[in-house]
A and B are shown apart, each in its own frame.
Chain A
């Protein structure tokens, strides 16, 4: 069955550094992948979508890569700020094409001032 894995351990980094979060998936070849940000007690907010034919996508300080051979996506935040502290989720559409998504459990990022 399809599976997504994100590092469940929190990631602490110093302000100004680049944070890198990982999303691995198995038994699956998704046409695209999404990243969301979730703050405590709130709903996820969409950040970026990357398609299988795109190796890299950028939006301001965010960068996402998609390696279909490794079955992995990396999410980078450059020049990180304490305001970037949140949980980041990756999500993929299921193969059934029936409107469903699989979400990872998320990685909690804490940027230290």
Chain B
């Protein structure tokens, strides 16, 4: 069974703090993703990575950065947390079927981040 784990289920941080969210997958997937999910807006892609040390911006990268030093681990960093980054953060991973074509996304349980 594919397993995607995230470092925290719930997190409360203060404005201006640096926040690290970690995601680990155990299936040797090439691709990993970070989304945020807000009511009425659905899942929005923040960043994704198709290989170690490779990353590409998604639809809403502002205020975020990522790191992928090892294939199984993909970190999302909020350099200076703000209240509008309060959200549910979801990590996902997939195999690559062909160049640029991915398979089913396997999601982690999510991290509910509150920025005060």
Do A and B make up one complex?
Answer: yes
Q: Which of B46-100 contact A (CB under 8 A)?
A: 48, 50, 56, 58, 88, 90, 92, 94, 96, 99-100
The CA of A101 and the CA of B31, in the complex, are separated in Å by 12
Please indicate the chain A residues that have their CB under 8 angstroms from the CB of B50 in the complex.
99
Interface size class of A (residues with CB under 8 A): 20 to 34
Interface size class of B (residues with CB under 8 A): 20 to 34
A101-B105 contact given A41-B110, A41-B112, A43-B90, CB 8 Å threshold? yes
The CA of A46 and the CA of B106, in the complex, are separated in Å by 7
Please indicate the chain B residues that have their CB under 8 angstroms from the CB of A97 in the complex.
99-101
- Interfacial residues, chain A to chain B (CB-CB below 8 A): 8, 34, 36, 41-46, 49, 89, 91, 93, 96-101, 103-106
Inter-subunit contact B48/A93 (CB<8 Å): no
Please indicate the chain B residues that have their CB under 8 angstroms from the CB of A44 in the complex.
43, 90, 105, 107
Please indicate the chain B residues that have their CB under 8 angstroms from the CB of A46 in the complex.
104-106
Inter-subunit contact B109/A43 (CB<8 Å): yes
Inter-subunit contact B90/A98 (CB<8 Å): no
